[in-house]
Amino acid sequence: MAGKLFVISGPSGAGKGSIVEKLMAKDDKLYFSISATTRPKRDYETDGREYFFVSREEFLDRIEKGKMLEWAEYAGNYYGTPAGPVDEKLNAGCDVILDVESHGMYSVKALRPDAVTMFVYPPSFAELERRLRKRNTETEERIQSRLKQSRLECAHAQDYDYIIINDDLELAAEEARAIMTAEKCRTAERLHILKEDKTL
């Protein structure tokens, strides 16, 4: 039985990363997809841990051959999700979760219509602003730009299958876990098992 593909998105500060961490901690058959990038590796990074580091030629070749589930260019570098490792894990029966922005979700959903998509919403934009300011590492201009970006990103929530409002991290992670469990109980998934089992 192949695994299921999940997509999680949400603006910076909504707590997507913490939810994924909680999911991974309780599910050793869940694989978190690692992106590929053409940007140079930094000293503290390891190939295949933070990113798969590939050359520009290799990346463009993968795009052309349809080997990327989604990709984008930022500041002259390419970033994206290679299909290979995702399919490998799915075929081995693991679930896979992709942390991508909304444009990435649209691309994944177009290529893999059975992917289940979740959008993590902040409890409020006031709280999101508070969280961004708490990091205390950015200029006012940068914070305003991030908030604007967050509002734009949240406008895509309506195109996702599920919305998780991250007011309380434990509850939000529980909701994400429930969504993953429920999706595996869907009749289309289970009929397959029933048909394979000769005793049923």
Residues forming the site for its own copies (CB under 8 A): 118-119, 121-122, 124-126, 154, 157-165, 174-175, 177-179, 181-183, 185-187, 190-191, 193-194, 197, 199-200
Instruction: Supply the minimum distance, in Å, between the C-beta of residue 135 and its own copies.
Output: 21
Nearest to 86 by CA among 101, 67, 63: 67
Instruction: Supply the minimum distance, in Å, between the C-beta of residue 4 and its own copies.
Output: 13
Cβ proximity to its own copies, 57 vs 196, nearer residue: 196
Nearest to 15 by CA among 178, 177, 181, 172: 172
SS3 track for 17-40: HHHHHHHHHHCCCEEECCCEECCC
Instruction: Supply the minimum distance, in Å, between the C-beta of residue 190 and its own copies.
Output: 4
Cβ proximity to its own copies, 56 vs 151, nearer residue: 151
Cβ proximity to its own copies, 37 vs 102, nearer residue: 102
Cβ proximity to its own copies, 61 vs 159, nearer residue: 159
Cβ proximity to its own copies, 118 vs 132, nearer residue: 118
- Contacts of residue 119, defined as CB under 8 A and 6 or more positions apart, other chains included, come to 8, 9, 10, 154, 156, 157, 160, 162, 163, 164
Sheet containing 68-74, strands listed edge to edge, beginning at the edge strand earlier in sequence: 52-53, 36-37, 77-82, 68-74
CA dist 87 and 118 (Å) reads 20
Q: At how many degrees (to 10) do helices 16-26 and 169-184 cross?
A: 60
Q: Is 86 exposed, middle or buried (0-12, 13-18, 19+ CB in 10 A)?
A: buried
Tokens for 90?
């799915």
Instruction: Supply the minimum distance, in Å, between the C-beta of residue 44 and its own copies.
Output: 36
Instruction: Supply the minimum distance, in Å, between the C-beta of residue 196 and its own copies.
Output: 12
Cβ proximity to its own copies, 64 vs 196, nearer residue: 196
Instruction: Supply the minimum distance, in Å, between the C-beta of residue 71 and its own copies.
Output: 25
